[in-house]
Amino acid sequence: MGLKHVALYSIPVTVTPEPPPGIGEAVSRILSWLYWLAWMAVAGAGVYGVLKTVMGDTEEGRRLILGAVAGAVLLAFLWVIISALVS
């Protein structure tokens, strides 16, 4: 009985996590859609901020424009981080 335990413990166990087939592509597609939607939201906030500024609400317009710029910077670096983590 001792030999069986020694034989079982001497077997090297290597586990490499992999997503089930097809899941990696689905996650990539969902992330791409979310990324595209986020860029559209940033562009929309920028355009709306400019319109608010032109209409006379400079404080709200400035806040929206700065938020759009901050969102664009965040999105630019976020995609690089996600790509590094996924691949």
Select from 50, 24, 42 the least CA-distant residue to 78.
42
Q: What is the pLDDT of residues 21-47, one digit of tens each?
A: 878 788 888 988 998 999 999 999 999
The domain locations on the chain are: 34-87
| Other CB atoms within 10 Å distance of the CB of residue 70 | 12
Q: What is the pLDDT of residues 65-84, one digit of tens each?
A: 999 999 999 998 887 877 78
What do you get for the CA distance between the two ends of the chain, in Å? 45
* CA distance readout (Å), 65 to 20, 41, 45, 82, 86: 42, 12, 7, 25, 31
